Amino acid sequence: MTQNGFAEINGTKFYYEVSGQGFPLVLVHAGIADCRMWDGQFDTFARQYQAVRYDRRGFGKTAMVAGDYSQYHDLYAFLKFLGIEQAILVGCSQGAKTVTDFTLEHPKMTKALVLVAPALGGFIFNGEPPKQEEQLELAEQAGDLDLVNELELQIWVDGPQRTAEQVNPNVRELAREMNRIALHTPEDLGNEIPLAPAAVNRLSEINVPALVITGDLDTPRTLAGADFLAQNIPGAKKATMNGVAHLPNMELPEEFNQLVLSFLEQT
């Protein structure tokens, strides 16, 4: 049975859901999504774990508010709110950055890490930007949020090697709906304070089991960052899912779930 509610912490109300018994497993969503991106995982993971998911600040049902904040400190306060002292952390994209930063700040609170299509604080990519970047900047300047949304779907959900027609329309439309909420968050609210020193130079400090998962159709930047993480977190494992891009868990949920559960069984 799923419980849901709002955690009043760090100046805003974080929407969350909890289901299942057992060791806590916390799902942290991507920057073009909210906690619904884990619909294909939540019930499955709740059969073996206490599955937890929440909307990060400025996403889904969690409002952005004025003032300084950090995503990893929000996660810390959220876990304390729930009374969780240690958890398995599964993060996608910016959510992966959040759980990586969190682990560096609170190493005893992380049991294992699953980093999906990961972003990484301080990572510099010198390759070509997405072909949509110039059009995206113009759309942002014009305030055309519907076009911004579509271009971001092309970059992240479709990936550089596919057209929209080659992607599951249900995945694409849920991503559009989730991203629309984030795009309508006022940009002048909130000031995110990054982790310092940045995670990119501190990965050797991570001493928990880690799995990096990518889709082979993701952006070159994401794939390069994932390789860097897998090579620099001691003992990290890496898995590639074929035929998917930046949200592999949404496109191939059963394959993704099996990868994660098999990894956790070995930790």
* 3.40.50.1820, 2.160.10.10, 3.30.1330.10, 3.30.70.890: CATH of 3-126+185-265: 3.40.50.1820
Q: Say whether pTM exceeds 0.95.
A: yes
Q: What is the mean pLDDT of residues 252-259?
A: 99
Confidence class of residue 1 from pLDDT cuts 50, 70 and 90?
confident
The pair of three-digit structure tokens given for residue 157, joined into one six-digit string: 């959900």
Amino acid letter, residue 150: E
Q: Report the run of H or E that residue 219 belongs to, with start and end.
A: none
> What is the CB neighbour count within 10 angstroms for residue 200?
17
Could you tell me what percent of the chain has a pLDDT over 90? Answer: 98
- What pLDDT is stored for residue 187 in this prediction? 74
Q: What is the mean pLDDT of residues 110-127?
A: 98
- The C-alpha atoms of residue 208 and residue 178 are separated, in whole angstroms, by 31
Distance of CA 199 to the CA centre of its chain: 16
Residue 210 clears pLDDT 90, i.e. is over it: yes
- The C-alpha atoms of residue 34 and residue 191 are separated, in whole angstroms, by 20
Residue ranges covered by each domain of the chain: 3-126+185-265
Q: What is the mean pLDDT of residues 82-95?
A: 99
- What pLDDT is stored for residue 221 in this prediction? 98
The pair of three-digit structure tokens given for residue 114, joined into one six-digit string: 């699953």
- What pLDDT is stored for residue 144 in this prediction? 98
Q: What is the mean pLDDT of the chain?
A: 98
- What pLDDT is stored for residue 220 in this prediction? 98
Confidence class of residue 28 from pLDDT cuts 50, 70 and 90?
very high
Amino acid letter, residue 80: K
Q: Where are the alpha helices (DSSP H) in the chain?
A: 39-46, 71-82, 94-105, 133-142, 145-152, 169-183, 220-232, 248-251, 253-265
